[in-house]
Structure 1
């Protein structure tokens, strides 16, 4: 007779399954990961996992949603940590980079995997929208204050594309050791920020004088200092 679990026990079991699934999806890939392989690592029977997830697609969606939510928690906390807009952009960027290197499997599940809409849970759709919002919320503020100009979605994605590409290169061990991660990161952010700043004489300049020579906000996604060795596993995508 099956033992009835409390709600807390069910949540704990689901969290254990997600943790193993996250690691296997990221390191083995989707095709080589199955409920059977996950159950084997847990020391369970494959049938026991069906008590918690209907199939692999549902487990992948739920695991990816949890990764997006942890990411958003970290970035939103950074956003709320200061009201200075340049400092906020730096804090958001630092939080982004810290998450990527602290949770490389989760980061890969978020950005290197995709699922057909029909296979997504509603929780995953909500989590994806929330994490996408972190890419533009601080940019909205900077545009409203006249510090930068442009479409916040486009500008937020420009920052994101620059730092994401750099993180992937670092994780893959492709960066020249003579060219540290931080050096390239700051240059990317400097160039994007300079290009987005209003020309001299525009109204926004009146609000920029106190930050006339910012070290460009390690903006959207900064600072991964050299503490982050950045090796994700053997084959980051």
Structure 2
């Protein structure tokens, strides 16, 4: 059965939603999530604020929708980075570097996705944010798995069960890969967040060099545990 063409009303609604989100994303990228204003968006689109509420129930719903888009945009960047490299270990390195590069280029978007309740899906749009965010993690887990299965760490039974239930059963990823990926993803994310927040400035440490050193340590651990070669 052929897919039914959207009606004129539906096309107009989609266009308007896209324009609202584009205006909100501009505000976000220029000044952060705190600067996103429904009143300002309505004025820029020559519409009343009550009319805008026909498309989004409120600011929270709009920011959650943006968080979905941010997660998907980052996932796309990571997938592109992984696809440019031939060897498995090089793909892990490329994804790790792309993660930081994207965050530094889009600091406010990164903050929304990874440092607010909107991006964490704790209050809004969990049905869409969770799979969008998981797509980013799946890129990293995928390249780690391609490099070989790390030696299984002795995990507490509860943690092993949680990892398998949340990630492994659906994608058939070994628990050792899940644990390795989650630990190193967290370490890289921590450095990026500290760098974006200027928390490392007082140390006098070159943040790019520090991140590079962390990637090297991750790759060394991956080669050692998997017997992989670059």
Query: TM-score, normalising length from structure 2?
Result: 0.70
Q: CA distance change for structure 1 residues 172 and 43 in 2, over 3 Å: closer, same or farther?
A: farther
Deviation at 1:166, TM superposition (A): 1.9
**1:179 aligned to 2:205?**
yes
Give the secondary-structure state (helix, strand or coil) at the position aligned to 2:224: coil
1:118-175 deviation line (CA, Å, top 9, x unaligned) = 621533232122122123111111124xxx4442222222222222222222222333
Aligned length: 196
Aligned pairs for 1:9-20 (under 5 A) are 10-20=13-23
* Greater helix proportion: 2
RMSD of aligned alpha carbons: 3.0
Deviation at 1:41, TM superposition (A): 5.3
Task: Give unmatched runs, 5+ long, in structure 2.
Answer: 1-7, 153-175
1:190-218 deviation line (CA, Å, top 9, x unaligned) = 3333344436xxxx54x54xx4xxxxxxx
Deviation at 1:10, TM superposition (A): 4.0
Give the secondary-structure state (helix, strand or coil) at the position aligned to 1:134: helix
2:224 aligned partner: 198
Give the secondary-structure state (helix, strand or coil) at the position aligned to 1:63: helix
Task: Give unmatched runs, 5+ long, in structure 1.
Answer: 212-237
1:131 aligned partner: 136
Deviates more, 1:77-86 or 1:58-67: 77-86
Deviation at 1:187, TM superposition (A): 1.6
